[in-house]
Each structure stands twice: as structure tokens, then as C-alpha cells.
Amino acid sequence: MSENMIEIQNVSMRFRFANDRILSLKEFVTAKLRGKLTYQDFWALKNVSFNVKKGEVVGIIGGNGAGKSTLLKIISRIMKPTEGAVICHGNIVPMLELGSGFDADLTGRENIFLNGAILGYTKEFLESKYQEILDFSQLGQFIDMPIRNYSSGMMMRLAFSIATLVNPEILIVDEILAVGDEAFQKKSYARMMELMSGGTTVLLVSHNLEQIRNMCSRVVWLEHGNVRMFGDVQEVCDAYSL
């Protein structure tokens, strides 16, 4: 039996909203001091548990508001769960909001090193990968231009190239396979398949069930923050489609 790369143990996430329509800080403080501030709890996730084995590709499906993105953010350590724990055995590259770690005033080249450092890679390692990242992104001379001048497609191509060319142990993907033009989409899809067959552990959220069926070995179906079903990809997708 292969070892677990990700262990999700009874994870719950609560968001708390003020019930009153408070429009200013003054109103908030006044209501708080008078003891008239009431809250409503919303549980985005409730007792979610499952394990992902080394080299496995696990899909996460569910309707809007099911808790998919919240779960990915918790696994990526962007958010801390209200209850429970997530244990990851390996370096994580989250592809949730591509380019969110970029600095608009820096050039593409500088952002490769900045983004790579955020992901925990050394300058030497990034230098050894630099040409590969540049070639894959197809940015050419634009690499030395401040990225505030990039189109959203150029930004996505650079972010995808950095995230996938540094061979992550755990890759977390949220609906990002439609990156750039059709030719780049084909190339990015091929790169994802290469990573998946090369032993990278992948968590993939997608509304495209065909993509999930083709790429995943097991699937988690989330509904209203709970695990409705977890198991064989065809069984779960068939049940979800009914």
C-alpha cells in the first residue's frame, strides 16, 4: 500500500457574519458596546476526512458553494480550519489564483525568481530551470518587461510555467487548465498529464466531469460542506450525474 501524501482529518471551516446591516466602523463599535451585535455562523465544511496516496490524482466535484475552493485553500495553508487538521508530506504548489504571488512592478524574469522563492526553491535551482520556464511560457522578449503591461493570458502562461516546471510533489489545481490560447491549452494539458504520470500527487477541482473521468483515479463529492461520496471515479461521477 502506498503512503499517504495528504491526510485530511475531520476538517470543519466556520465563517461568522454579523447579522445587522452595519455600514461603518462606528456603527460596528456602537453595536458591539451595546451588546446588540448578533452573528450568524456558516459552516463551509463539516467533518471532512479523506486521504490521498502518493502519486494519486484525486478529483473534487460538487455544485457552487459545496466547499471545494475552501478545502483547497485549507490544504494549501492559505486558510486555517476552524476544527480538524491537514497533514501534507511533501512540498505543495497551489495553482488556485495563478499569478497571485506576482509583483506588477517587476519584470517577468524577476517574478520567476520571486514566485519560485515563495514556493520554496533556491536561486540556483531556479537559474537551472529559467530557460525551460521561459521557453514553455513563450514570452520571448516580453520576459524583461514589467508584468503590469502583460495581458491576462501572458500572466497566466508565466504563472503556469513556473508552477508546473518545478516538479512539485503535491499539485493543487482549481479549474485552471483553460490557460491562454488553444495551442497553449493543449501544451498545458500535456504538461499536466506528464506530471500526473510522473508521480506527482494531484488534487483537481473541475466542473468538467469528462476531465475528471479521464484524469483522476478517485473522486470526492462535496455537498453543502460534507463528503457525500468518496471512491472510484466512475462510480462517484455516475452517482453525481443522476
pLDDT at 50 exceeding the cut of 60: yes
Cα R_g (the chain), whole angstroms = 20
**pLDDT at res. 22:** 64
Which CATH number belongs to the domain containing residue 45 in this structure? Answer: 3.40.50.300
Number of domains in the chain: 1
**pLDDT at res. 150:** 92
> Is 161 or 36 the better-scoring residue by pLDDT?
161
Band of pLDDT at residue 51, cut at 50, 70 and 90: very high
The answer to whether residues 164 and 132 touch, using CB atoms and an 8 Å cutoff, is no
Q: Supply the mean pLDDT for the chain.
A: 87
pLDDT at 135 exceeding the cut of 90: yes
Provide, rounded to the nearest whole percent, the portion of the chain with pLDDT above 70.
92
The answer to whether residues 204 and 216 touch, using CB atoms and an 8 Å cutoff, is yes
Instruction: Measure the CA–CA gap between 223 and 104, rounded to whole angstroms.
Output: 37
- CB-neighbour burial class of residue 96 (10 A; exposed 0-12, middle 13-18, buried 19+): middle
Contacts of 68 (CB under 8 A, 6+ apart): 60, 61, 62, 174, 205, 222
pLDDT at 224 exceeding the cut of 50: yes
Q: Domain range for residue 53?
A: 4-241
